């Protein structure tokens, strides 16, 4: 039996991948380039190094990884293809846990390398823009603060734990984090599943909402959309294999509202047997042929070469307790979110748009099931 052993590296520039393995990287390069020499060039390594490493792994793992015939391009063996598939599946399914482990390590070393650093614990519904925000924040804020806001001092380390939206807000209410990231359908009705889910968890006067993003959710389907799926009713009518998100996630709540809009029962999409923990894992399931369709964000689909059918826009909020709004880490985050540099980065992400980034918002405006007769302003940018 082959066992997994994890390692980590301290570096000024460790790259974007949270966990790396040189074997799948080499296999992917061989598959893409069609030769050992091409793979070596793509990886910035010598031909001798790549050839020798692949031969050592073949001996260690007991199987051929690369095959080719005379005058033919190199290609992965069936065993090599399975190894690469397994690594991609594991990376996609374990992305939230890997991100949490990564955040734990970075937080542990943050004070040692930067005594002026701020550390902010954030439980959040899975979101790719937050992953990018963590990288930008850790590099320090190169811009001056927004008008009326102090400049951030030192790096800001976001200790992000990806979990369901409901669990994120519960973690905030139980004092396990400073911020909770969750998302809601744009224009959700007072009697919607969105309202029924979040209204008991959030209290005006106790909680404050900070704007983060407007993003698009829709159907993630195979390239070319071979089943012609344009809405959930099509998924039901064609008996397409639908991959779900777990109960307690914001996307599962959103699915309930979308089903209600189309007059469908939850059972119309088949048994909820297959669930995946993140948008990336849903997209990987479709890419691997394990499912025909799933509900998720556009960025996850585009990164895997899949098609995306937009259905709705939603708001992504960051909730905190009123008492933490003026604390230095929260102010540092708000300053970063309001910077032109960050908003330009977010605007480049597929399916995202910066929306009231870093601003404190009126709960009755962004969560329309809260209504107060005395409140006339839609948004507030000041506390």
Answer whether residue 213 shows pLDDT above 90: yes
Q: How far apart are CA 269 and CA 247, in angstroms?
A: 15
According to the model, what pLDDT value does residue 70 have? Answer: 66
Token digits for 308?
């995306």
Given a contact cutoff of 8 angstroms between Cβ atoms, the answer to whether 123 and 168 are in contact is yes
CA 270, CA 239: separation in Å to the nearest integer? Answer: 8
Mean pLDDT of 158-176: 93
Of the pLDDT bands very low, low, confident and very high (cuts 50, 70, 90), residue 146 is: very low
User: pTM for this one?
Assistant: 0.69
For position 382, what pLDDT does the model report? 38
Predicted confidence at residue 189, as pLDDT, reads 87
Domain definitions of the chain by residue range: 22-92, 95-366
Q: Give the CA count within 13 Å in the CB-facing half-sphere of 101.
A: 11
Q: Helices 78-93 and 95-113 sit at what angle, rounded to 10 degrees?
A: 60
12 pLDDT band (50/70/90 cuts)?
low
Whether residue 381 is predicted with pLDDT greater than 80 in this model: the reply is no
Percentage with pLDDT > 70 across the chain: 83
The angle subtended at Cα 60 by Cα 54 and Cα 66, nearest 5°, is 35
pLDDT surpasses 50 at 149:
no
Percent of the chain with pLDDT over 90: 50
Q: List pLDDT tens digits, range 247-269.
A: 999 999 999 999 999 999 988 99
Summarize the confidence of residues 209-222 as an average pLDDT: 97
Of the two residues 51 and 155, the one the predictor is more confident about is 51
Mean pLDDT for all residues in the chain: 85
- 35 within 8 A of 74, measured Cβ to Cβ: yes
* Euclidean distance between CA atoms 25 and 45, whole angstroms: 12
Fold of 95-366: D-Maltodextrin-Binding Protein; domain 2 (3.40.190)
pLDDT band, very low/low/confident/very high, at 75 (cuts 50, 70, 90): confident
3-state class (DSSP) for residue 369? coil
Domain 22-92 top-level CATH class: mainly alpha
User: Of the ranges 154-158, 179-183, 344-348, which one carries the lowest mean pLDDT score?
Assistant: 154-158
Q: Tell me: the pLDDT tens digits for 290-339?
A: 999 999 999 999 999 999 999 999 999 999 999 999 999 999 999 999 99
Phi and psi for 244 in degrees, rounded to 5? -95, 165
Distance CA 160, CA 177 (A): 9
* pLDDT above 80: residue 180: yes
| pLDDT for 362 beyond 70 | yes
Please provide residue 285's backbone torsions phi and psi, each rounded to the nearest 5 degrees. -65, -40
| pLDDT digits 0-9 by tens, 18-64 | 677 888 888 888 888 888 888 899 988 898 998 898 988 888 888 89
The pLDDT assigned to 270 comes to 80
Per-residue confidence band for 140, with pLDDT thresholds at 50, 70 and 90: low
Which residues contact residue 276 at a Cβ distance below 8 angstroms, ignoring those fewer than 6 apart? 92, 93, 243, 244, 245, 282, 284, 285, 294
What digits encode the pLDDT tens for the residues 78-137?
888 888 888 877 777 777 677 767 766 766 676 566 666 788 999 999 898 998 998 888
Confirm if 194 and 132 have CB atoms less than 8 A apart: no
* Token pair listed for 180: 């909770």
Q: Is 177 exposed, middle or buried (0-12, 13-18, 19+ CB in 10 A)?
A: buried
């Amino acid at each position: 039996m082959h066992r997994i052993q994890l390692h980590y590296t301290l570096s000024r520039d460790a790259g974007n991948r949270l966990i790396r393995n040189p074997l799948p990287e080499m296999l992917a390069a061989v598959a893409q380039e069609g030769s050992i020499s091409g793979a070596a060039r793509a990886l910035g390594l010598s031909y001798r190094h790549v050839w020798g490493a692949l031969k050592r792994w073949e001996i260690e793992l007991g199987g051929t990884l690369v095959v080719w015939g005379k005058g033919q391009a190199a290609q992965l063996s069936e065993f090599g293809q399975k190894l690469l598939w397994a690594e991609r599946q594991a990376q996609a399914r374990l992305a939230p846990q890997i991100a949490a482990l990564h955040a734990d390590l970075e937080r542990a070393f943050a004070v040692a390398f930067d005594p002026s650093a701020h550390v902010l614990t954030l439980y959040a519904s899975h979101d790719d823009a937050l992953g990018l925000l963590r990288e930008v924040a850790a590099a320090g804020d190169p811009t001056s603060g927004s008008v009326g806001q102090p400049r951030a001092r030192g790096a800001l380390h976001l200790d992000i734990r990806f979990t369901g939206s409901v669990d994120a807000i519960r973690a905030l209410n139980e004092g396990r984090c400073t911020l909770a990231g969750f998302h809601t359908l744009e224009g959700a009705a007072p009697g919607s599943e969105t309202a029924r889910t979040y209204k008991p968890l959030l209290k005006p006067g106790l909680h404050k909402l900070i704007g983060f993003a407007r993003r698009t959710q829709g159907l993630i389907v195979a390239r070319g959309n071979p089943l012609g799926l344009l809405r959930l009713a099509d998924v039901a009518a064609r008996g397409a294999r639908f991959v779900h998100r777990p109960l307690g996630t914001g996307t599962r709540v959103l699915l309930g509202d979308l089903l209600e809009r189309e007059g469908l029962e939850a059972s119309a999409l088949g048994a909820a047997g297959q669930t995946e923990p993140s948008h990336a894992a849903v997209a990987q399931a479709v890419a691997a042929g394990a499912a025909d369709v799933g509900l998720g964000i556009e960025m996850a689909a585009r990164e895997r070469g899949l098609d995306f059918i937009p259905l709705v826009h939603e708001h992504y909020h960051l909730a905190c307790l009123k008492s933490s709004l003026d604390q230095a880490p929260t102010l540092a985050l708000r300053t970063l979110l309001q910077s032109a540099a960050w908003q330009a980065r977010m605007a480049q992400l597929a399916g995202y748009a910066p929306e009231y980034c870093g601003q404190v918002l009126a709960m009755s405006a962004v969560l329309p099931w809260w209504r107060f007769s005395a409140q006339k302003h839609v948004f507030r940018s000041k506390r």
